[in-house]
Structure 1
Amino acid sequence: MMASHISSLIKCRRAAAAAEMAMVTPLLIALMFGSFELGNYFLSEHVVVKAVRDGARYAGRLGFSNYSCVDDDDGNIPGGTVVADTRNLVRTGQLTGGSARLVGWTDPETIKVTYDCVDPHSVTPSYSGIYNSMSYVPVVKVEIATDNANRLVYQSLFNRLGFDSSALYLNAASQSPVTGL
């Protein structure tokens, strides 16, 4: 009698779909939340790349008086309020005030603003036009800091649930020749 019950349970298919769903559901949930997280990471990276590009474009349009080029030199710091204004523009999208483009992007030190002095004839194609009378052309660089103290940490969608994203960083860099417009 007991053998007949066991064989009837083995042959019964009424709960097969529920059992299969119970086995597959954790995988589907992990895949779904992983897709959300990956999408958020790519969105955050896009926001940072666009912000850095905007900052380089802004700093490149400032006057030549902020960029002193007397020799072929790299890593110079612009004068005036170029660094502070560019950092705020990159971080918030505005020259003064504003809220951060990304959650947790509160430290302006994550943004480096420097410029290099480039011989206009050392690059191909060579600089011409407004640069004809210049011995060196200032090229401003805006980038997210890569030193460990000032790196821009990615903020996970699921940090509050205990997922640690402190080992993921957002990076971007852009440069623009100074036009003084």
Structure 2
Amino acid sequence: MLVALRHIIRHFKRDDDGAALVEIAIVTPFVLLLSAGVFEFGNILNTRMLLDAGVKDAARYMARCSTDWNTCSGYAANLAVNGAITGGSARVTGWTTGQISITPAVSTPAIDPTTGAELYLSSTANVVVVQVSTSYPYPDLGFWSYLGFSGQLALTVSHQERVFGW
């Protein structure tokens, strides 16, 4: 019995049939996991870029708005989230106008007092700068959660524009 087992093992050691199948069976789970991670990272990056585009659009709108602050900020928040000042369709699922923060920085000096560097080309000492920012909780990490990445991922974006429309 032992002699027959040794003969089978010697024959098995020299046989290369099916080696590629075994290698593919070992490597495939890692390649699939890597691919899923790349796709999920691409989705996170795409969401971040959509948030950035919305915040920049809102800041540009606020910089050129010539009506009162409250009316413009409502339109700008809708522009950021939906891509239009009224109506539109959501850029990012779950992103709401309540997550948009629009604040004016009224006393921004045109020249940096510590270095003397010119920050803004202006005929006045101070310029009005509007800042639009948002923080969006990314809903799911997908396959990354299987790798041990847990918790909530918050994508935070902000943009400043010099106001010249008021």
Question: Scaled by the length of structure 2, what TM-score is found?
Answer: 0.81
Aligned to 2:16: 13
What are the residue-to-residue correspondences of 1:18-167 with 2, within 5 Å?
A: 18-63=21-66, 66=68, 79-105=69-95, 107-118=96-107, 120-123=109-112, 124-128=118-122, 132=123, 136-144=126-134, 151-156=135-140, 158=142, 167=152
RMSD: 2.4
Question: Which 4+ stretches in 1 moved above 4 angstroms?
Answer: 162-166
Q: Note if contact 2:51-2:157 (Cα within 8 Å) is conserved in structure 1.
A: yes
- Measure the CA separation in 1 of the matches of 2:111 and 2:78: 33
Comparing both structures, which one devotes a greater share of its residues to strand?
2
Aligned to 1:71: none
Q: Note if contact 2:103-2:132 (Cα within 8 Å) is conserved in structure 1.
A: yes
Of all paired residues, the percent bearing the same amino acid is: 31
- Measure the CA separation in 1 of the matches of 2:121 and 2:109: 5
Q: Note if contact 2:102-2:130 (Cα within 8 Å) is conserved in structure 1.
A: yes
Q: 5+ unaligned residues in a row in structure 2: which ranges?
A: 113-117
State the Cα deviation string for residues 38-61 of structure 1 (Å, max 9, x = none).
Answer: 111111111111111111001000
- Measure the CA separation in 1 of the matches of 2:120 and 2:152: 41
The amino acid of 2:72's aligned partner reads V
Comparing both structures, which one devotes a greater share of its residues to helix?
2
Question: Helix, strand or coil for the counterpart of 1:97?
Answer: coil
Q: Note if contact 2:50-2:91 (Cα within 8 Å) is conserved in structure 1.
A: yes
Aligned to 2:115: none
- Measure the CA separation in 2 of the matches of 1:121 and 1:39: 39
Q: Note if contact 1:53-1:174 (Cα within 8 Å) is conserved in structure 2.
A: yes
> Aligned pair in 2 of structure 1 residues 37, 165: CA closer, same or farther (>3 Å)?
farther
> Aligned pair in 2 of structure 1 residues 4, 54: CA closer, same or farther (>3 Å)?
same
- Larger-gyration structure (1/2): 2
> Aligned pair in 2 of structure 1 residues 126, 7: CA closer, same or farther (>3 Å)?
closer
The amino acid of 1:143's aligned partner reads S
Question: Helix, strand or coil for the counterpart of 1:51?
Answer: helix
> Aligned pair in 2 of structure 1 residues 4, 56: CA closer, same or farther (>3 Å)?
same
Q: Note if contact 1:111-1:143 (Cα within 8 Å) is conserved in structure 2.
A: yes
- The one of the two structures with greater contact order (alpha-carbon pairs below 8 A, sep at least 6) is 1
- Measure the CA separation in 1 of the matches of 2:110 and 2:24: 67
Q: Note if contact 1:154-1:166 (Cα within 8 Å) is conserved in structure 2.
A: no
Q: Note if contact 1:120-1:127 (Cα within 8 Å) is conserved in structure 2.
A: no
